[in-house]
Structure formats: structure tokens, C-alpha cells
Amino acid sequence: MSESAEATSPAAEAPGQANVGESRTYREQLYAAWWTWPLPLVMAGLLAAEVHMGYPGIRAWLPYVLLLPIAVAVPLWLGRTKLEVTGGELWVGDAHVPLRFIEDAEVVPAAEKRRALGPELDPAAFVLHRPWAPASVRIWLNDEDDPTPYWVVSSRRPEQLAAALRS
């Protein structure tokens, strides 16, 4: 199958979503951790209270109505990322790669994650880093047409993701 035929496949029409009849091998949603919620709420509350003290009338309650929902939306938006191995492809958010191009997958433990994302990181690598996910998986690619040597993807269950990619 050519690359252009893959781009027009039904899986490309529904990114990250498994088609009916396809079996999922692995699925994970990288929800934002509980400790990401208080800081935006406190900051929005303090900023709204500061504006409230300075302006009477409608301008007093308007910052609460605007800023507090934004402070809730930010952690929800950060936690929308899905990791999925389905239909012969690895989906990481909106990015995807066919499993036939995956050469190997290795778990990067939490102790080595900083080095893997710092001095050892290839500038051409694809990175999806979430600080609340303790470990990562480095996925080596074998595609002559793609300049990306590997992907580094944060995961809460890196061993299961690596096993799903190897099988």
C-alpha cells in the first residue's frame, strides 16, 4: 500500500479513534494530575479578587465569571492527549505512525527521563512530554523517508505500551 493510500484510509479520517471492528491493543489517556489543578484556580481567584477590589459594579464580578472557567479549562485541555495502538498504527494525540515502521520500543524510567529529554535528545525526534507522567517510552523508527529517528512519549504505563508496540 502506498503512503498516499494510507493517508486516505478510514483510520486517517478519524484520528485517534478506532474504527468499528478493529481491536485495540493499548489505550491510555494522559489526564492532568491532581496537583495541576490548584495553582491555576488560586491564580485566577487572586487575579479576579484584585480586579474586584479596584472596580465597582459589573466589572467587580466579571473577572470571576471569565477567569475561573479558564482556570478549569486549562488542566482539562492539558489532559486530552490519548495514546492508542490500534488498527496497525500508533496514535499519540493527532500524530500517528504505522506499526510496520516501529523497529523497537524501550522504557525510559523516571530516573533517566531528564537525561533522555535533555542532552541525549536528538533534535529531529518527536516528543510528547507530560510532566505528570512518571516515565517515557522511546520508540525507534525504521523509515528511510522520515527524518525522525525516534519518538519519546510520556506514559503512566510505559511497560504495557512498549509491550503493545513490540507485539
Cell representation of residue 119:
542532552
Give the C-alpha distances (Å, rounded to integers) separating 120 from 115, 117, 126, 156: 6, 7, 13, 22
The 10 Å Cβ neighbour count of residue 46 is: 11
Q: Nearest-CA neighbor of 98 among 159, 11, 26?
A: 11
pLDDT at position 22 is 55
pLDDT of residue 162: 93
Q: Return per-residue pLDDT of the chain as tens, 167 residues.
A: 334 334 434 444 444 444 444 566 899 998 888 888 899 999 999 999 998 888 877 778 888 999 999 999 988 888 888 999 998 999 999 999 999 999 999 999 999 999 999 999 999 999 999 988 889 999 999 999 989 999 999 999 999 999 999 88
Hey, is 46 helix, strand or coil?
helix
